[in-house]
Amino acid sequence: MQMLLKLLKDGEFHSGEDLGAVMGVSRSAVWKKLQQLEAETGLEIHKVRGRGYRLADPLFMLDAQWIEKNQADADWAVHVYDSIDSTNAQAMRLIESGEPLPLLVLAERQTAGRGRRGRKWVSPFGENLYYSLAMRVDGGMRRLEGLSLLVGLAVVKMLREMGINGAGLKWPNDVLVGGRKLAGVLLELTGDPADVCHVVIGIGINVNMRASEEVDQAWTSMLLEYGGVIDRNEIVARLNKELSAYLSAHREAGFGAFQAEWEANHLWQGRPVTLLAGSSAVEGVVVGIDAVGALRLKVGAEIQSFSGGELSLRLRAAPET
């Protein structure tokens, strides 16, 4: 499959005869391999009599060596997989096996990708970014305060540098453009919460996805916002650069140093919202966040703070005056 993908990834037409000659197989064997490729990856292959075969769009395969050479000061070991259950799950397995840290896990496809609150993260082959950074943390969970919000800042900065100017944050872990979700962050911890622990920073970004019937909420992608297919290797390199810088500053100064920057990028700042926690709901107006990333709402005449992985925020209509 890898050889066939490399031959077709330019998005140009290739005859069955040429493909067979390079692969050392017959034209009928090429046809069978193309059918297998479509079935295994979900990629759309155009077949035109007299011209041959081509992918519907050019495909930029992830390149671990290129990323490692172009990640600025990050200096993270990069592990790339064709298909995996979840990059976060694989990062956890690599931590348990004693692999040197930090390390970055990327995949062309996830078969069991997940987001916050156990939601499925739709992960088609070769289209989006499935990214998990594993790190050791000394000093326990207090060193991680506000970390997921900080990661969102790094994602937004990278997106804007790549021309997605409308990107902004939704508390706690979403990146939106025009009210539609483009990216999300999921942190998972292992180890001693009071001493040495490990964190996996999971980031999912819709990059070259044009359509999906599986996503159960309003979504967009970099391609839809930008207007063209984007090399995911460049996105990884830029994200590594931004994330490395933010993480370094966070270790030195804590999340409080980024509180104002985060609020300035929060799309729902000052908006009336409903905060859902299980079967209960709280209505209020977003005031901002505190120094550890908890959401601050004006509920009636009071300012209240909320935090927790099971909370969900929804916009509501502003009251009529």
110 has binding-site annotation = yes
Give Cβ neighbours of residue 247 (< 8 Å, ≥ 6 apart).
Answer: 135, 150
Dist. CA 24–CA 43, nearest whole Å: 23
278 has binding-site annotation = no
The catalytic residue among 54, 109, 116, 232 is 116
88 has binding-site annotation = yes
Task: Give the count of beta carbons closer than 10 Å to the beta carbon of residue 191.
Answer: 15
Decide if 116 is catalytic.
Answer: yes
86 has binding-site annotation = yes
Decide if 143 is catalytic.
Answer: no
The catalytic residue among 109, 181, 241, 296 is 181
Decide if 9 is catalytic.
Answer: no
115 has binding-site annotation = yes
87 has binding-site annotation = yes
Dist. CA 170–CA 88, nearest whole Å: 22
The catalytic residue among 32, 136, 251, 314 is 314
Q: Could you give the residue numbers annotated as active site? A: 116, 181, 314
Binding residues for biotin, as ranges, are 86-88, 110, 114-116, 181
Residues belonging to the binding site are 86-88, 110, 114-116, 181
